[in-house]
Amino acid sequence: MDFREILGIDGYKRPAEGYMSWQHLTFVTSLVVIMIICAVLLGKRNKNKSDAVKNKVMIVTAILIDAFEIFKIVVLSITNKNPMQFIYVLPLFLCSIQLITIPLAAFSKGRLKEASLDFVMIFGMLGAILGTYFAGQNYGCYPVISMDNVVSGITHSLAGFAALYIMVSNMGSMKKKNIPITVGILGGFGVAAYIANIFVDCNYMFLSRGDGTPYDIVYNLVNGDPVIYPICVMVMFVIYIGIFYGVYYGVTKKQTEKNSENLSSEIGDIAKCTN
């Protein structure tokens, strides 16, 4: 196995090990473990530091995720001898939206930055898991150690890292007033993906079919209806956003109540001592 074959320059001569093979599971689990460890360690280290310090990690993450994706597009364009290869890998998949939202979260300001940080936190981990453990089409077609799967695994893991880092470092605001912006970001990409699917058979945001993912369940339930299926997928995304916000507010409310009880207890103890 040489570097040219890993890049797929002359095509992949090795057969795909298969979806959910031990090679697939070992590779993606290694990425996920590294992702979690790095996010937690960096998040805890920067938790009480300034927003500028916290944001440096997001800037590096934004540069890395786009650099890997651009590298993949260039290599695919060369191997397929097609300068228009990029139209088949536009950042319009649910997972690859982070190629735009992570830079937005890192470089924008104000409410757009807040909403982008929340969007990354909400969808980053979901995309990381779906794009590694449940990427049935990729791991069924290409060898595990191939450019398609390695770069895809890295970019999805970077999205998951960003989501966990935002959560642990308390960068996310989850302000209710920003929910329309967060949903608007999703809706904008959804419309763009739906239009792109009409002209390019890429199944952006899984709005055309399931492609070996859990979305196949919905696709089969509605018999692949070209209107009902994409609507169901978008509704599922919105429901997921609602559930995420509900869980977040529920957890933070309990944490606030617990902190208030501890503070009241400490004040009571101090009062007893002074008496």
Cα distances from 233 to residues 75, 120, 162, 244, in angstroms, run 31, 19, 24, 17
Closest CA to 123 of 243, 267, 226: 243
pLDDT tens, position by position, 248-267: 888 877 765 565 555 455 55
Task: Work out the end-to-end distance of the chain between its first and last CA atoms, rounded to an integer number of angstroms.
Answer: 78
pLDDT tens, position by position, 171-202: 998 988 998 998 899 999 999 999 999 998 88
Within a domain: 260: yes
Separation of CA 169 from chain center: 17
Q: Which residues contact 228 (CB under 8 A, 6 or more apart)?
A: 222
pLDDT tens, position by position, 79-110: 877 778 778 888 888 778 999 999 999 999 99
State which residues form the domain around 246. 15-274
Within a domain: 251: yes
- How many domains does the chain fold into? 1
Within a domain: 5: no
pTM given for the model: 0.84
Which of 39-48, 78-87, 131-140, 216-225 has maximum average pLDDT?
39-48
pLDDT at residue 270 is higher than 80: no
In the prediction, which pLDDT does 263 show? 47
Q: Which residues contact 77 (CB under 8 A, 6 or more apart)?
A: 83, 85, 86
> What is d(CA 132, CA 48) in angstroms, rounded to the nearest whole number?
32
Within a domain: 1: no
Within a domain: 6: no
Closest CA to 130 of 4, 23, 216: 216
> What is d(CA 219, CA 198) in angstroms, rounded to the nearest whole number?
18
